[in-house]
Structure 1
Amino acid sequence: MATPRYDEASIRVLKGLEPVRQRPGMYTRTDNPLHILQEVIDNAADEALAGHGKLIKVSLHTDGSVSIEDDGRGIPVGLHPEELTPVAELVFTRLHAGGKFDKKGGGAYAFSGGLHGVGVSVTNALSKRLEVTIWRDGGAHEMVFAGGEVQTPLHQADTVGRRKTGTRVRVWPDAKYFDTATIPLGELEHALRSKAVLLSGIKVSLFIEKTGELREWLYEHGLRGYLDEALNGAEKIIPLFEGSQYAGDDDESFALGEGAQWVVGWTAEGPVVRESYVNLISTTAGGTHEAGLRDGLFSAVRAFAELHSLIPKGVKLVADDVFARTSFVLSAKVLDPQFQGQIKEKLNSRDAVRLVSGYVKNALDLWLNANVEHGRKLADIAIRQAQARARSAKKVEKRKSSGVAVLPGKLTDCESSDISRTELFLVEGDSAGGSAKMGRDKEFQAILPLRGKVLNSWEVDRDRLFANNEIHDIAVAIGVDPHAPGSNADLSGLRYGRICILSDADVDGSHIQVLLLTLFFRHFSKLVEMGHVYVARPPLFRVDVPAAGKRPARKVYCLDQAELDAAQEKMRSEGVREGSWSISRFKGLGEMSATQLWDTTMDPDTRRLLPVSCGEAGVEATEKMFDMLMGKGESAQRRIWLEEKGNLAEIDV
């Protein structure tokens, strides 16, 4: 077989919207087109959030297209001063173009749903056809795209009254980019209803052309009314706790307008309702704003219980004791939100923990001390939850106590034995292990440093595994014996709910990750199947940004070169002087201080943990891939695979 050619002509430059069409999964969900429609809906909601417009209308047409209309200001229709191209065209055809980057002097959007710079350009890229109508400056302006390219340039089609303003976007999603072209009606309704909840007084409607059905949402009571409706009459232990607070001009820590609105309820039984939003974007996977809410509620309840001497001797409250029966709707406003991934399911902004926690704690402190009976009930629930947790942990410990192997000497164990909270970090190297030991939360985080690279265990018999010291120590530490894939393994001795692989963010670290993943997939498959194995993602770069205006000096951590480039671009758009920031590269985990390692990689509120699973490929396909990658007799297949796929690797050497 001839070796594939690799020369200058092999390098391909993707331009315009081509990167989106090549790898749509990097920019949006590809199970169905809902997310590309949400990008347009979010733009309409951002107009309402900025105080422009009172109406958002969505229509599902019989030809498979969807139109979204608002009565906001309308996208600007003039030429861009630098690009000399109509601004409306740039918005739909350039990945990094939009009004949300302009934060100086308030900008067009002081608060908006993210600054990834893709938005509706992805909607256009993944649509067969897209029509835009803009009412602005006394004219009705129209533009048509086909396959992401301009088909009919922007032109004024009609005149209208100067009071008529807004934008209508009609989208025909291209089915070839999605698993199914069907839009999940339930999810769309939930997204639209949540916009109405968060934008009190804004009417949101959905028209289904096929049935002629019109659904409308208008919430005058905002979050409280929504949570009451969602709880569906469940018995509340105390009345709903609601509040809001936003930073003022004199706030030294946060930008003007940053803050949160919340409503929280505690119910005796039934399912809990938890919804959170950042600048109207639904964060279904939570994030740092939810962590701030949890921390604020816990801090206030614990302070109240301590003040009134309610905590029995020997009982230690943790955040989950207060949070176990908590339902909430949280809406945060963050000037510069950092999300995990383009679909914005999880907020990563570190400052959001402190922002929400501080405001919620202060408000709940005042509320509990003004309503002492409610405070006593709340503290009593938390104390009973803590006692139940302690009893459960004792039962587990008693069951484990017979015949337990002596734990490895280099294991630094944690204090808790509650596997719903405990974590074991398998750390590359003794120096990194030292930082992890000092930086961890000793109550629930254990550290096991590994020396060198673990044995490739893919073709090692199970009874010979313990000849390797590292594998022996891992098995004894986690409390589970090696077992065959698919077997009914006994996990009753499991000592940690999360087993986290923590290695350097370089090629060697990736190699160690693969060897450990091979071990778990081959010999501890039940742990992978049950979701106990994770990969920690430490940053490769740290950017030190100087103070600017009222914003204090800050540190920005980036996982890789792509995040570093995006961070620098964002700083330029914020007006930070070019070259005033400094970039440090971590050569390894051992180079990080204990505080840095905690902040970036071990703090449950701000870290990035990647759960390990076989994904859509399934167990059989994963096993075949491991056979090819790790089998001793598969070098020829590996070579062919590397020649075919090597150009896809994003490595840092």
Structure 2
Amino acid sequence: QSAYRFSGGLHGVGVAVTNALSLAVSVEVRREGGVWQIAFEKGGAICQPLTRVADCSPKMHSTEIRIKPDPKYFDAVTIHTHELIQMLRSKALLLPGLTTYLQLPGQEEQSWKYNQGLPDYLMELLEGRECATDLFSGERYQEEGNTAGFEAGEGASWALAWVKDDSLAPETFVNLIPTPSGGTHESGFRAGVYAAVQSFMEHHNLIPAKLKLQQEDVTGKLAFILSARILDPQFQGQTKERLNNRDAHRLMQQTIRDALELWLNSHPDQGKAIAEIALQSAQRRLKAAQKIERKKGSGLATLPGKLTDCESTDLSRNELFLVEGDSAGGSAKTARDKEFQAILPLRGKVLNTWEIEAGQIFGNREVHDISVALGVEPHPVDAEPAQVLANLRYGKIIIFADADVDGRHIQVLLLTLFLKHFPALLKAGHVYAA
């Protein structure tokens, strides 16, 4: 009876349903020193009653089931080999020392065996990939009379490691049943890992002020295999691909947090490597959140209101003067040739963009207006000018600053902007100073 305490739900309809959907089913069982056979046909009718057909060793125990699916119930009667392999391999890795075999017609026999179970399997998956930490594995199950309110025997075994590149999709199981869609046990496990790492980082003062870590920062590059043991699992749907038990979240969180926190404090170098990964992820996330897009309307860039545009669309003639302030802009407007000369007055000194990433430069109004007026997006230095300048609106961009210290400063800041974020303009000879 204890062997059935942790099951996937004892519905008892597996072979019965298979029999109902098959043209033929035969079963051969070896137990108690005898070989027994029974056979069915046409959806369940007995064609051979249970019969003892031979003797065998009392130590031999096995069950062999042969089926012939009925085509009228299936789109195709072929078995998905990939899913079969996944199932056989999962039984081998969840039951250390067990060997599973697969023999397909016309193919060599395949077998799987993992002496150490989950750690062996995770090492196999990570072969050839660069890991940031050592592999950490373990198991923890609740004892009788525990104060957490869980049943004796509930808990999990696991193997985990952090990788430097994109993480593997986790593989999780409940009572030896694969749960490819995860569920509360997986979310609880991630929450426990996050809590343990965050506690370690706080204890060692590794979190900068004003930086708030999120769970994804810590677990984004985590590769893990989890085998949970739940007394009364509640799955979503008959295929049991996702666990729904609410208490499983708390159980898994508690199970991994204490164990991982102890391991991190015993291996501070590993903890600091994980902390570095988490901090890099958090900083990337914050930068992405700060990214400011160029304002657009009706699918086309909306030209800045203070731009005094020209009438011509001939790039070989068009000129855009970047002038210092509205007063200079007013003077330039009265002196320009409105057919081919445009004026864009700049308010004060332009932002120094040398250390600013391309995704953040549009936070500055002047830089935003220059980009929109030109019709050019920021681009890397190796960009092909013909591509990035396809929508350029002016053949000459003229920096028109005063002949004093402030004017030269503005000129340098604008040249810095073009050199760093619009290098194709300089390469193609579109930038001038006056």
Q: TM-score, normalised by structure 2?
A: 0.64
Instruction: Verify: 1:234 aligned to 2:97, yes or no.
Output: no
Shift of the 370–230 alpha-carbon distance from structure 1 to 2, 3 Å rule, reads same
Q: Please name the residue that 1:243 is paired with.
A: 138
Instruction: Verify: 1:344 aligned to 2:237, yes or no.
Output: no
Q: Please name the residue that 1:370 is paired with.
A: 266
Q: Please name the residue that 1:386 is paired with.
A: 282
The answer to whether the Cα contact below 8 Å between 2:161 and 2:224 also exists between their aligned partners in 1 is: yes
The answer to whether the Cα contact below 8 Å between 1:278 and 1:332 also exists between their aligned partners in 2 is: yes
Secondary structure class of the residue paired with 2:293: helix
| CA drift at 1:212 | 5.4
The answer to whether the Cα contact below 8 Å between 1:259 and 1:355 also exists between their aligned partners in 2 is: yes
Residues 456-605 of structure 1 mapped to structure 2, 5 A cutoff = none
Q: Give the Cα–Cα distance (whole angstroms) in 2 for the partners of residues 315 and 347 of structure 1.
A: 33
Q: Give the Cα–Cα distance (whole angstroms) in 2 for the partners of residues 333 and 365 of structure 1.
A: 21
Secondary structure class of the residue paired with 1:255: coil
Q: Please name the residue that 1:448 is paired with.
A: none
Q: Which of 114, 120, 125 is the aligned partner of 1:225?
A: 120
| CA drift at 1:296 | 0.6
Q: Please name the residue that 1:166 is paired with.
A: 62
Q: Which of 188, 204, 209 is the aligned partner of 1:308?
A: 204
The answer to whether the Cα contact below 8 Å between 1:230 and 1:273 also exists between their aligned partners in 2 is: no
Instruction: Verify: 1:291 aligned to 2:187, yes or no.
Output: yes
Q: Which amino acid aligns with 1:129?
A: A
Q: Which amino acid aligns with 1:157?
A: V
Shift of the 203–177 alpha-carbon distance from structure 1 to 2, 3 Å rule, reads same
Higher-Rg structure is 2
Secondary structure class of the residue paired with 1:169: strand
Report Cα offsets for 1:554-607 as digits up to 9, x if no partner: xxxxxxxxxxxxxxxxxxxxxxxxxxxxxxxxxxxxxxxxxxxxxxxxxxxxxx
Q: Please name the residue that 1:100 is paired with.
A: none
Q: Which amino acid aligns with 1:238?
A: T
Q: Give the Cα–Cα distance (whole angstroms) in 2 for the partners of residues 212 and 302 of structure 1.
A: 50
Report Cα offsets for 1:142-170 as digits up to 9, x if no partner: 21122332323323233333322221111
Q: Which amino acid aligns with 1:240?
A: L
Unaligned stretches of 5+ in structure 2?
298-434
Secondary structure class of the residue paired with 1:347: coil
Q: Which amino acid aligns with 1:119?
A: G
Alignment identity in percent?
45
Q: Give the Cα–Cα distance (whole angstroms) in 1 for the partners of residues 76 and 207 of structure 2.
A: 54
Q: Give the Cα–Cα distance (whole angstroms) in 1 for the partners of residues 220 and 11 of structure 2.
A: 34
The answer to whether the Cα contact below 8 Å between 1:205 and 1:217 also exists between their aligned partners in 2 is: yes
Instruction: Verify: 1:327 aligned to 2:213, yes or no.
Output: no
Report Cα offsets for 1:208-258 as digits up to 9, x if no partner: 2x2252111111121111111111221110101211101112324222211
Secondary structure class of the residue paired with 1:213: coil
Q: Give the Cα–Cα distance (whole angstroms) in 2 for the partners of residues 377 and 134 of structure 1.
A: 53
Instruction: Verify: 1:149 aligned to 2:53, yes or no.
Output: no
Q: Which amino acid aligns with 2:15?
A: V
Q: Give the Cα–Cα distance (whole angstroms) in 1 for the partners of residues 141 and 228 of structure 2.
A: 9
Q: Which amino acid aligns with 2:289?
A: A
Q: Please name the residue that 1:318 is paired with.
A: 214
Q: Which amino acid aligns with 2:34?
A: G
Shift of the 316–402 alpha-carbon distance from structure 1 to 2, 3 Å rule, reads farther
| CA drift at 1:280 | 1.2
Residues 614-653 of structure 1 mapped to structure 2, 5 A cutoff = none
Q: Which amino acid aligns with 1:380?
A: E
Q: Which amino acid aligns with 2:223?
A: S
Q: Give the Cα–Cα distance (whole angstroms) in 1 for the partners of residues 56 and 257 of structure 2.
A: 51
Q: Which amino acid aligns with 2:45?
A: V
Structure 1 range deviating more: 155-164 or 284-293: 155-164
Q: Give the Cα–Cα distance (whole angstroms) in 1 for the partners of residues 88 and 173 of structure 2.
A: 13
The answer to whether the Cα contact below 8 Å between 1:115 and 1:337 also exists between their aligned partners in 2 is: no
Q: TM-score, normalised by structure 1?
A: 0.43
Instruction: Verify: 1:265 aligned to 2:265, yes or no.
Output: no
Q: Please name the residue that 1:32 is paired with.
A: none
| CA drift at 1:363 | 0.5
Q: Give the Cα–Cα distance (whole angstroms) in 1 for the partners of residues 250 and 78 of structure 2.
A: 41
The answer to whether the Cα contact below 8 Å between 1:244 and 1:261 also exists between their aligned partners in 2 is: yes
Secondary structure class of the residue paired with 1:168: strand
Q: Please name the residue that 2:320 is paired with.
A: none
Instruction: Verify: 1:275 aligned to 2:178, yes or no.
Output: no
Residues 354-433 of structure 1 mapped to structure 2, 5 A cutoff = 354-395=250-291, 398-399=292-293
Q: Which amino acid aligns with 1:112?
A: S
The answer to whether the Cα contact below 8 Å between 1:141 and 1:158 also exists between their aligned partners in 2 is: yes
Q: Give the Cα–Cα distance (whole angstroms) in 2 for the partners of residues 271 and 372 of structure 1.
A: 22
Secondary structure class of the residue paired with 1:316: coil
Report Cα offsets for 1:595-629 as digits up to 9, x if no partner: xxxxxxxxxxxxxxxxxxxxxxxxxxxxxxxxxxx
Q: Please name the residue that 2:339 is paired with.
A: none
| CA drift at 1:116 | 4.3
Report Cα offsets for 1:8-44 as digits up to 9, x if no partner: xxxxxxxxxxxxxxxxxxxxxxxxxxxxxxxxxxxxx
Report Cα offsets for 1:163-218 as digits up to 9, x if no partner: 2222111111222222222222222112211211111011111112x225211111
The answer to whether the Cα contact below 8 Å between 2:166 and 2:221 also exists between their aligned partners in 1 is: no
| CA drift at 1:402 | 8.1
Q: Give the Cα–Cα distance (whole angstroms) in 2 for the partners of residues 283 and 384 of structure 1.
A: 31
| CA drift at 1:107 | 4.5
Q: Give the Cα–Cα distance (whole angstroms) in 2 for the partners of residues 247 and 130 of structure 1.
A: 41
Q: Please name the residue that 1:109 is paired with.
A: 4
Q: Give the Cα–Cα distance (whole angstroms) in 1 for the partners of residues 30 and 184 of structure 2.
A: 38
The answer to whether the Cα contact below 8 Å between 2:35 and 2:53 also exists between their aligned partners in 1 is: yes
Instruction: Verify: 1:186 aligned to 2:99, yes or no.
Output: no
Q: Please name the residue that 2:100 is paired with.
A: 204
| CA drift at 1:323 | 1.2
Q: Which amino acid aligns with 2:59?
A: R
Shift of the 362–108 alpha-carbon distance from structure 1 to 2, 3 Å rule, reads closer
The answer to whether the Cα contact below 8 Å between 2:167 and 2:220 also exists between their aligned partners in 1 is: no
Q: How many pairs align?
A: 296
| CA drift at 1:358 | 0.4
Q: Which amino acid aligns with 1:236?
A: C
Q: Give the Cα–Cα distance (whole angstroms) in 1 for the partners of residues 135 and 238 of structure 2.
A: 34
| CA drift at 1:367 | 0.6
Q: Which amino acid aligns with 2:178?
A: S
The answer to whether the Cα contact below 8 Å between 1:236 and 1:268 also exists between their aligned partners in 2 is: yes
The answer to whether the Cα contact below 8 Å between 2:180 and 2:242 also exists between their aligned partners in 1 is: yes
| CA drift at 1:270 | 4.3
Residues 16-27 of structure 1 mapped to structure 2, 5 A cutoff = none
Q: Which amino acid aligns with 1:231?
A: L
The answer to whether the Cα contact below 8 Å between 1:234 and 1:270 also exists between their aligned partners in 2 is: no
Residues 116-131 of structure 1 mapped to structure 2, 5 A cutoff = 116-131=11-26
Q: Which amino acid aligns with 1:383?
A: L
| Segments of 4+ moved more than 6 angstroms | 400-403
Q: Give the Cα–Cα distance (whole angstroms) in 1 for the partners of residues 177 and 188 of structure 2.
A: 17
Q: Give the Cα–Cα distance (whole angstroms) in 2 for the partners of residues 400 and 275 of structure 1.
A: 41
